Every structure is written in C-alpha cells, then in structure tokens.
Amino acid sequence: MASLNNGKDEVCAWIRERFRPGDRILDVGACDGKWKMLLPEYAMDACEAWEPNARQIKGLYQNVFVRDIAELTYKWYDLIIFGDVIEHMDVATARHVLSYAWTRCRDLIVGVPYLWPQGEYMGNPWEVHIQDDLTPEIFAERYPELKVLLPAGKRYCYYHKRMDDDLR
C-alpha cells in the first residue's frame, strides 16, 4: 500500500533545505516510488522487499534492491528515508535496522502511523503492521534516539536522528 501523504510536502521542503541534488538517498520500502516522484532531482536508490512493487519502480531509481532492509548491506547514504516501514517490523528488527543505518548516513527520516492495524494487502505479506500499537509515547520509549521532525496529525509523525538543524 502506498504511504500516507500526511506532511510529505513539509518533509520534502526540509530535505531540500539540508541536502543537495548530488547527495545520495536511500528510500526504504519504496512501494510505488512516491518519495522519488516528490524529489526527482535527487540521486536515489530504493530497497523494496516485495518483488512486484520492485518491478514497477525499476526505471525510477538508480538502483532497486529487492530484499528485506534487515538483510541489505551498504556503506553510506547522505539520507535514508524509512517512510511507513518501522511499523512493519518487530521492535528488535527495527532497532537493528536503525542501528545499522545510524553510522551509515548523515541523517535518516522515519515516518510512522499511530495505532494503525493493517493486514496483508493485495497479496503483499510485507504490508502487515507488527507494531500497530505505536503512539507518540510508545515510539519515544522504543526509539529514544529519534527526535520529532514533523508531527503530521494525530495519527502520523516524522522523526529523524539529528538534534541540530545545521547539517553542513
């Protein structure tokens, strides 16, 4: 299922203020390629676990890695976007994925819905929300290293790893 539109324009403006078009971005759980379409000027790779989605976005991204992000190895990205991804993992896996990314990027963005149960969608088993209990308080308890980037309503929020706004 494509990610929600909540706050995406504001997040794109935030990205454009801090990252140059030559900077490398990894879009995790790229689905239909929405982030690449919103930020066409950036060099982007995608990690998409479900092969039918990956086939649809192959020409959109520089590289499309068809695998679970927990199994992807990489050296460096300037920005990693986890848009509607963390809720699809158990806490231990999500903490592992974020820990791995932490030292391999300047910043990362995590967008999550709150209290959002979801099962398999259109045959895609990766769509199940394992952490469907997330609230601002539970998210802060499980992922204290992440800071609010943009609260996008009562049911959705964006977080990032930086406390400062001066990334240059």
Please determine, for residue 61, whether its predicted confidence score (pLDDT) is greater than 50.
yes
C-beta contacts of 3-6 below 8 A and 24+ residues apart: 3/29, 3/31, 3/34, 3/83, 3/84, 3/111, 4/84, 4/111, 4/113, 4/156, 6/152, 6/153, 6/155, 6/156
Q: Is residue 1 part of a domain?
A: no
Residue 70 lies in a domain: yes
Q: Quick check: is 51 in a domain?
A: yes
**Element at 90 (helix H, strand E):** none
Overall pTM surpassing 0.85 (yes/no): yes
For the domain that residue 65 is a member of, what is the CATH number? 3.40.50.150
Domain-embedded: residue 69: yes
**Confidence category of residue 127, pLDDT binned at 50, 70, 90:** low
3-class SS of residue 164: coil
Does some domain include residue 3? Answer: no
> Which whole number is the average pLDDT over 48-54?
86
- Please indicate, yes or no, if residue 26 is contained in any of the structural domains: yes
Q: Does residue 168 belong to any structural domain of this protein? A: no
Domain that holds residue 46: 8-160
* DSSP three-state, residue 154: coil
- Has residue 40 been placed in a domain? yes
State residue 51's pLDDT score.
86
Q: Could you give the 3-state DSSP secondary structure of residue 57?
A: helix
Say what the pLDDT of residue 163 is.
54
91 pLDDT tier (thresholds 50, 70, 90): very high
Q: What are phi and psi of 66, to 5 degrees?
A: -95, 90
Question: Tokens 């990690």 belong to which residue?
Answer: 47
Structural domains in the chain (count): 1
